[in-house]
Every structure is written in structure tokens, then in C-alpha cells.
Structure 1
């Protein structure tokens, strides 16, 4: 599936960009990283992996909400 291949490529780009030193980033560089992460999220969300992550996060959020009562 093409969506997963593009998502994997974006994940690699995100890891490489985030490994750089914080001081070396400009504001436009940070905006580009945020844009890449948003596109990655949109591509991963409808996949089986994205749905599994959503399920885990939903259960975690429900558990935290229930523990506060």
C-alpha cells in the first residue's frame, strides 16, 4: 500500500530531523518539522497501525479518567 510506504519515509525523515541539536534549528525549520509530523499523522491514522494506536490511547485516556473519579 502506497500510504504506508510514504508514512515510513516520513517517519525516517522525522527521526533524522529530531536528532539534530535544538540550537541549530530555525523557526522555519521547526514549522517544516511540524508540517511533516502532521502529514505523517494523517497518513498513518487510517491504517491498521494507526487504529491500534488510537485504541491504546483511548483505553489509556479512559483509564486515567476513571482513576480520577
Structure 2
């Protein structure tokens, strides 16, 4: 339960941070956003939703690879 709550909180923080205008962001602000997104990815990866996302991205990548041949 705790993992889901932290994941939802990080997802909300990411959405709020990405809604800001690009010109208003400093380098340190962008680095913090990257760290938060990486932490969110680590929390999502072992869940069923994370595995579903991985499967979808894998199918998309293989489709792009086959289309480029």
C-alpha cells in the first residue's frame, strides 16, 4: 500500500512540474524533475502496471524495427 501511495504522489508531482513553462525552469529544477521521474520509474517497474507498460513498449519497438526493414 505504501508503494502505491508514494507512486501516486510522485506522479502528481511530475505532472505539476511538467506543466510549468520551459523558460521558467532552471537547470537544477530540470535535474530535480529527472530524479523524481527516475524514482517514479523505479516504483512503477515491479508492479503489474509497470510490466504492462514494458510489454507495450517492447511491442512498439519491435514494430518500429520491423517497419524499418
Shift of 1:62: 0.9
Looking at both structures, which has the greater relative contact order when contacts are Cα pairs under 8 Å and sequence separation is at least 6?
Answer: 1
Aligned residues: 69
Gaps of 5+ in 1: none
Shift >3 Å, 4+ stretches: none
Q: Residue 13 of structure 2 aligns to a residue in which SS?
A: helix
Q: Which runs of 5+ in 2 are unaligned?
A: none
Give the RMSD, CA atoms, in angstroms: 0.8
Using structure 1 for the length normalisation, give the TM-score.
Answer: 0.93
- SS of the counterpart of 1:46? coil
- TM-score, normalised via structure 2 length: 0.93
